[in-house]
Amino acid sequence: MKRLILVFIFALVVWQLHATDSLFFEEHGAIRYDFELVGGNNRIEVVKKQVKYLPHQGDNFSQHLQMPDYGSCRYSIFDADSDTLLFRKGFSPLFKEWQITDKANSEIRSYYQALFFPKPKSDVVLKIDERSFEGSWQTIWIDTIRIDDPFIINEKYPVGSIDTIMFHGEPGKHVDLVILAEGYTKNELEKFSLDARRLTDSLFAAEPFKTHKNRFNVLAMQVSSVESGTDIPGEHIYRNTAFNSHFYTFGSARYLTTSDMKSVYDAIDGVAWDHIYILVNEERYGGGGFYNYLSICTSDNVQSPFVFCHEFGHAFAGLADEYYTSSTSYESFYNLDVEPWEPNITTMMDFDKKWFSRINEGTSVPTPRNDEYAGKVGVFEGGGYEAKGIYSPVMSCWMKEQKAGAFCPVCRDAIEKTILMHCQ
């Protein structure tokens, strides 16, 4: 009886959310809101750039009020007249990582960003919050979007050449992943399609993606570059590519990113999508992943299948890195007195909300990193780039190292939960 009541309550909540959607949002179309985050260590400013109407709603917008409160930033949409919260989504921009580098103490930089939400039927208010080092939300931007504003761009968007790798049904009811070619010349676009299929196969060979493969649509967008490869600034190598990707982000030789997000967004305005993956035509090891923002990795390294999965773990499910011995460019990524928002690490400040229920009776907490606990879920010190004060759920996981061979049970739980939330 209790289970039936819970199912009924859940169904009622979903029905109410869909009813709210139809009341405040159009059935089709979305808003793209572009801005720049500008600042340094103790400074952040928002500079509005443009607002556009888009033809498609790729994301399952109706579910976002039920999503976990993840991300280093979030944005919220309110009805302008009633102040009703209509939509909320977390994200982790590259700018927030820039803020905790040593150079951010003396330099100011800007990073391009866009936010997406369903096309409203009436005026709405957008609020952007950042998560402080103490873990609280602070509003950094408020703007009213008026639907009769003549300066909202409303134009036709060309759709480039697309290789449909996987299609299981209507966008918005599936996870819609778009893979973009980076550093592939016109003559290499066939190689891009093969690379995208090979790495997509590696993702869906891993659990829980394998079990939920039929919940995904995957498109490979064939965008050509003038030159092959990517920039390697630390070695004075520069290539003319579509999305201006580069290694040596924040001085880290293997950290591969792009700051040219406007070009990325412009390339996919005409398609429905939930998540963006940039595939770089390069043999070197490297990549990056940012929650509800971007995944990127190279195509031809022997570890590319692992990196492809690892970075998507960050971007899709908000998973944290569990390694703690590699050097980084950050001064202090986590506050050890605050529980991290990521589901697979803990400072033990609020551990009951993490994977406490998965720990077997008799398992020591904290859990020693020894053979007795190999393959078991526990609370192992080390993770989030820190050897002390941050704990991981297992001794070895794909969010730590390739040799783990799989995502751990805690990471699988987080990924599966995200998949199901997208597809309700």
For residue range 142-176, list pLDDT tens digits in order: 999 999 999 999 999 988 899 999 999 998 889 99
Of 145, 176, 210, the domain-final residue: 145
Sign of CA dihedral 238, 242, 248, 250: positive
Instruction: Answer yes or no: do 138 and 169 share one domain.
Output: no
The C-alpha angle 30, 35, 239, rounded to 5 degrees, equals 100
Are residues 181 and 103 part of one domain? no
Burial of 160 (C-beta count, 10 Å sphere; 0-12/13-18/19+): middle
Residues 220 and 304 reside in one and the same domain: yes
SS3 content of the chain, % helix, strand, coil (to 5): 25, 30, 45
Residue 363: how many other CB atoms lie within 10 Å: 14
Question: Measuring CA to CA, which residue among 268, 306, 272, 265 is closest to residue 287?
Answer: 306
What domain range includes position 245? 162-317
Residue 52 domain flag: yes
Residue 347 C-alpha from the chain's centroid? 22
The verdict on 338 and 287 lying in the same domain is no
User: Could you say which residues of the chain have pLDDT below 50?
Assistant: 1-19
Question: Exposed, middle or buried, 362 (CB in 10 Å: 0-12/13-18/19+)?
Answer: exposed
Same domain membership, residue 131 and residue 21: yes
Same domain, yes or no: 276 and 410 = no
Judgement on whether residues 173 and 103 belong to the same structural domain of the protein: no
According to the model, what pLDDT value does residue 21 have?
61
Residues 6+ apart with CB under 8 A from 251: 101, 234, 329
Question: Do the domain assignments include residue 113?
Answer: yes
pTM of the model: 0.93
Residue pair 231/237 in contact by the 8 Å Cβ criterion: yes
* Preceding omega of 393 cis (within 30 degrees of 0): no
Domain assignment present for 156: no
Structural domain tally of the chain?
Answer: 3
